A and B are shown apart, each in its own frame.
Chain A
């Protein structure tokens, strides 16, 4: 479980996160909001790339903000990036092993864990295939596998379906849905594809201008007046 309270981030005069307060329970949670709402900034705070001006983040009882960025992966924070970052030069196996060898998981089970994770995300390529030769879908899946291998506690997926065609998004959705079944992980999914969010996430929080404007059951949140206004503007409600 993650508790975020009064989290504020400032870049000069811009305040991408403005006293953000929200709770994420075990399972898959959606985090949506218009462009520039602060979703990626929030992920960057959790990964340690951005230092907040104030506020606190407590995850599974630990003060997350006190942990140095690269140690957070070992603690259990994993993520994918908006622009996919599978390491081209390495094989599929090495990409996933890379995260495993810097996690808490024992090295004796590396091979099994890595290969199981590769098949868990549904990658059917040869594990020794170089990632640079793979297509967009498979590279995304490699990145997701890298976020899942070892013992993650918080998995942050930043627009994993961006740029993927419909049937590949559906496959990705199946993978995301199955993640919490096998672990005590909090998965936070940021995406603009509402059908993906509603099919994967039972609960969703909505960010707008750095504030949480709604959170709760996904279906209800998507009907919320404030959310519709944030996405479509005032006119949509007036008509």
Chain B
């Protein structure tokens, strides 16, 4: 009751009208980019890269799930690759056993994985930090072993749907509208976009606020009336749901699933690329997908062993932990602006625009479209580098 209906008379400047709707420029740019990814890219690149693109979309969803857990709520899970494998298994089983539409299978796989992944998340209610990471890694290992024993369905009968004596393995079916590799690429990209919309809707509303509070301080969250247990479970459920959907897409993309292709260590690689991509921005998940799937494809086509990636990711994580905690999604635009400012200074003789407060990491990327904001950020960046220069 306190303060409600109070003070509006004295400070009419703060009327609800001050809350402006977000500008439409950003959604328009995003839509244009999505169309570009859907139609322009498959038109110019070879089928090899289209297939890599499908994997990027799928792993971007997995990364997004981990992004929610680690970046939003502060729960480190090292079991996401196992959750992905569970989603793929459930989807493959359903696709062989039923004639349900592919979309329905996606949904059911997501829901079943949500329940199973929720179980993986149960320790999160009691544990945090390194202990939670360890427990989820152990569970992931256990799931990997279990799936290796049961095997992935390949058209056989029984619960596991595995038949070791089949000579001509039937392929896992794809949706009618997405039979070809290119069509399935578009199909995956659209579902990845839907997963982003789903997560964004969470982050921008009640659960997102609760997660931010939990991440910063559990006692502050409790004092504000947040049931931290429910919201942590919710985060695990959401991450598992989209990862399950990603698993179903993976089943459709690969058409043949082998337990050997789901390794426990992949969970660690996923965490590494998510950290490198940018843990605090949802866009970082796309970078993570590119790092995890496009980079190996590129190296492969250049004839370089993709084992080099493990070293690269190691260095990358080190770089993130020491100098760029917000990842590539934050660091690259900053560096580009700094570089641009440096070039301008070389040409223009050191003109110094008025200093402004530093832009926040998320806003910085949003501002990139507006030239004035861009210049301001560049000024800040330049100021920083000048200071660095003075002190050295």
A and B: bona fide binding partners: yes
Question: Which residues does A use to contact B, with CB under 8 Å?
Answer: 47-49, 69-74, 78-79, 81, 85, 87-90, 93-94, 97-99, 101-103, 105, 109, 111-113, 115-122, 124, 126-128, 130, 132-133, 145-146, 148-152, 155, 178-180, 182-185
Contact of B1 among A71, A124, A151 (CB under 8 A): A151
Contact of B216 among A87, A99, A118, A182 (CB under 8 A): A87
B14 located at the interface, meaning its Cβ lies under 8 Å from any Cβ of chain A in the complex = yes
Given contacts A87-B216, A115-B16, contact A49 B222 (CB under 8 A): yes
Write the chain A residue with the least CB distance to B357. Answer: A133
Given contacts A78-B223, A113-B3, A117-B4, 6 further A-B contacts (CB under 8 A): A47-B223, A85-B219, A90-B213, A94-B212, A116-B5, A121-B3
Give B215-267 interface residues, CB cut-off 8 Å to A: 215-217, 219-228
B216:A88 contact, CB within 8 angstroms = yes
A149 CB contacts on chain B under 8 angstroms: 3-4
B223 CB contacts on chain A under 8 angstroms: 47, 73, 78-79, 81, 85
A99 CB contacts on chain B under 8 angstroms: 224-225
B14:A115 contact, CB within 8 angstroms = yes
Give B9-32 interface residues, CB cut-off 8 Å to A: 10-11, 13-16, 18-20
Write the chain A residue with the least CB distance to B22. Answer: A128
Quote the shortest CB–CB distance from B2 to chain A (angstroms): 4
The count of chain B contact residues (Cβ–Cβ below 8 Å) is 38
Contact of B6 among A74, A88, A116 (CB under 8 A): A116
B180 located at the interface, meaning its Cβ lies under 8 Å from any Cβ of chain A in the complex = no
Given contacts A85-B217, A97-B209, A120-B7, contact A183 B2 (CB under 8 A): yes
Contact of A152 among B2, B213, B220 (CB under 8 A): B2
A117:B16 contact, CB within 8 angstroms = no
A120 to B4, CA, bound (A): 9
Quote the shortest CB–CB distance from A105 to chain B (angstroms): 7
A70:B1 contact, CB within 8 angstroms = no
Quote the shortest CB–CB distance from B93 to chain A (angstroms): 39
A98:B15 contact, CB within 8 angstroms = no
B300 located at the interface, meaning its Cβ lies under 8 Å from any Cβ of chain A in the complex = no
B220:A117 contact, CB within 8 angstroms = no
B16:A111 contact, CB within 8 angstroms = yes
A98:B224 contact, CB within 8 angstroms = yes
A73 to B210, CA, bound (A): 14
Given contacts A70-B228, A88-B216, A111-B16, contact A116 B222 (CB under 8 A): no
Given contacts A88-B216, A111-B16, contact A73 B1 (CB under 8 A): no
Write the chain B residue with the least CB distance to A180. Answer: B2
A85 CB contacts on chain B under 8 angstroms: 216-217, 219-220, 223
B209:A182 contact, CB within 8 angstroms = no
Question: Which 3 residue pairs of A and B lie closest in terms of their CB atoms, listed nearest first?
Answer: A73-B225, A102-B225, A85-B220
Quote the shortest CB–CB distance from A155 to chain B (angstroms): 7
A117 CB contacts on chain B under 8 angstroms: 3-4, 6
Interface string of B359-376 (1 = CB under 8 A from A): 010010000000000000
A184 to B226, CA, bound (A): 24
B19:A93 contact, CB within 8 angstroms = yes
A182 CB contacts on chain B under 8 angstroms: 1-6
B226:A102 contact, CB within 8 angstroms = yes
Given contacts A116-B5, A148-B3, contact A81 B360 (CB under 8 A): no
A182 to B1, CA, bound (A): 7
A90:B212 contact, CB within 8 angstroms = yes
B206 located at the interface, meaning its Cβ lies under 8 Å from any Cβ of chain A in the complex = yes
B3:A179 contact, CB within 8 angstroms = yes
Q: List 15 A-B contacts (CB under 8 A).
A: A48-B222, A70-B226, A72-B225, A81-B220, A87-B216, A89-B216, A103-B225, A111-B19, A119-B10, A124-B14, A148-B2, A179-B3, A180-B2, A182-B4, A182-B5
Quote the shortest CB–CB distance from A12 to chain B (angstroms): 21
Quote the shortest CB–CB distance from A58 to chain B (angstroms): 20
A113 to B6, CA, bound (A): 9
B8 located at the interface, meaning its Cβ lies under 8 Å from any Cβ of chain A in the complex = yes
Write the chain B residue with the least CB distance to A84. Answer: B220
Quote the shortest CB–CB distance from A122 to chain B (angstroms): 8
Given contacts A49-B222, A97-B209, A128-B19, contact A155 B2 (CB under 8 A): yes
A113:B4 contact, CB within 8 angstroms = yes
B227 CB contacts on chain A under 8 angstroms: 70
A197 to B78, CA, bound (A): 50
A183:B222 contact, CB within 8 angstroms = no
Quote the shortest CB–CB distance from A188 to chain B (angstroms): 14
A127 CB contacts on chain B under 8 angstroms: 14, 18-19
A115 to B16, CA, bound (A): 7
From A118, A119, A130, residue with most partner B Cβ within 10 Å: A119
Quote the shortest CB–CB distance from B72 to chain A (angstroms): 9
Write the chain A residue with the least CB distance to B219. Answer: A49
From B215, B220, B222, B227, residue with most partner A Cβ within 10 Å: B220
Given contacts A85-B220, A148-B2, A185-B1, contact A101 B14 (CB under 8 A): no
B209:A179 contact, CB within 8 angstroms = no
Write the chain A residue with the least CB distance to B229. Answer: A70
A71 CB contacts on chain B under 8 angstroms: 225
B6:A89 contact, CB within 8 angstroms = no
Contact of B11 among A119, A126, A155, A178 (CB under 8 A): A119
